[in-house]
Chain A
Amino acid sequence: MDHNNNIDFKDLWKKQTVSQPNIEDLLARLKQFKKAGLRNLWITNILLFATCVFIVSVWFYYQPEFISTKIGIVLAILAMVIYLGFYNRLASTYKNIDATQTNQEYLQKLILIKRKQQFMQSTLLSLYFVLLGVGICFYLYEYTLKMTILWAVFTYGITLLWMGFNWFYIRPKQIKKQQSKIDELIAKFEDVNNQLQS
C-alpha cells in the first residue's frame, strides 16, 4: 500500500490491541454522565433563587415605605435574574451542541460558545456587580434616615468599602483567573480550526 517505503501503516494501525467493555457497563455510565454535568448548574440556580426569595420575603415582611427601597430590591433581583438567565442559556447551548455536524462546523460552534462564556465572565459579571451595588445603596437609604448622621455615614462607609473591595479586588481577580483559561482555549480551538483552512 505504502509502496514508497514498504511500511504498511494500515496493517500496523489495525494491530492495536482493543478491549471492548461490556455493554451494560456502558449504559450504567450513561447515568453518571448525565448527573455530573448538571451539578454546578443546579447549585448556582438554587443559591441565586434562594437569595431572590429571601429578598422578596424581606419586602413583604418589613413593608418598606420608600420607593428607593423598592427600586433597590428590584435592581438586586434583576442583577441575579439576568446573570442566571444568561448562565442557563449558555449551559443548555453547551449541553445540546450538535455532535453530528462536520468537525469544521463543530469547532466553530465551540469557539462561539467560548466567546459567549468570555462575555459572561467579564461584561456580564461587571454588570452584575454594578446592579447589585446600586441596588444595595438604594435599599439602605430608607433605613439610614432613621439613624443618627454618624451611624448613617458609618453604614454607607462600610457598605461602599465592601463594594469597593469586591469591584477592585475580587472582580478583576475572578475575571483574570477565568479569562486566561478561556483565552487559551479559544486560541487553541481557533488554531485547530485554521488547520482546516490551510
Chain B
Amino acid sequence: MVFRTIKQFYKILRMEFEEIYKTYWDRIFRLCMGFVNDYAIAQDLAQETFVIVWQKLDTFRNESSIGTWIFRIASNNCLRQIEKDKRFLKSDLPINLTEEKQQSLEPQIQFLYKCIAELPETERIIISLELEDIKQAEIAKIVGLSEANTRVKIHRIKEKLTQKFKENGPQ
C-alpha cells in the first residue's frame, strides 16, 4: 500500500518534471548561453540546472511562481560556474571544439550573445531574463534587487548593447 503510494507520487513528480523540462529547456539554455557564450558549456549548465530542479522539485511550494523558482536555480548555477571556470582555464582544453556549431548562426545573433557574455556577471543574468520576457518584478525577485533598481539596470544594459551594436555590430 505504502509502496504503491510512493510509486504514484514518483509518477506524478516525473510527469510534472517532464512538463517543466519541455517548457523551460529552451529558455534556460539561452540564459546559460548568454552567460558563457559557449554551446557545450551552456548545454552542461542547463543540464545541471534540471538535475537540481529534479532533486528539489518535491520541496517546491507555491510561494513563488515555478518560473521564478527555476530561473533562480539556473542563474545561481551560472554564478557557481565562475568557480569551475578557474579550473577550466588552467587545464589546456582545445578551444575550437565548439566553434563549428556556431558558425551556421546568423552573425547578428552571434554578436548579441557575445556582447551579453562580455557584460559583468549579474548584468548578463538580468538582461537574459529581460529578453526572455520575464516581468521586471519577477526579475527583481530572482536577482534580489528592488524593482526600481532592476528597471534602471535593464535600461542601462540595453543602452550598452545598443551602443555596441552601433559601433561594431554586423550589418
Contact = CB atoms under 8 A, between A and B. Distances in A.
Interface residues of B, number: 58
B144 A104 contact: yes
B143 interface: yes
Contacts of B82: 185, 188-189, 192
Nearest to A4: B162
B56 interface: yes
B144 A26 contact: no
Contact of A21 (B43, B56, B125): B43
A141 interface: no
Contacts of B106: 15
Contacts of A5: 162, 165-166
Chain A contact residues (Cβ within 8 angstroms of B): what range? Answer: 35 or more
A74 B128 CA distance: 56
A110 interface: yes
B143 to A, nearest CB: 5
Nearest to A103: B143
Contacts of B76: 99-101, 103, 106
A146 interface: no
Interface in B79-119: 79-80, 82-83, 86, 104-106, 108-109, 112-113
Contact of B142 (A4, A17, A102): A102
> What is the interface of chain A mostly: helix, strand, loop, or mixed?
helix
B52 interface: yes
A107 to B, nearest CB: 6
Given A7-B162, A14-B30, A185-B86, A99 B122 contact: no
A150 B75 CA distance: 66
Contacts of B47: 21, 26, 29
Contact of B141 (A12, A102, A110): A102
B122 A17 contact: no
B33 A16 contact: yes
Contact of A26 (B21, B75, B105): B21
B147 interface: no
A195 B25 contact: no
B7 to A, nearest CB: 16
B72 A196 contact: no
Contacts of B34: 13
Interface of B: 18, 21-22, 25-26, 29-30, 33-34, 43, 47-48, 50-52, 54-56, 59-60, 69, 72-73, 75-77, 79-80, 82-83, 86, 104-106, 108-109, 112-113, 120-123, 125, 128, 131-133, 141-145, 158, 161-162, 165-166, 169
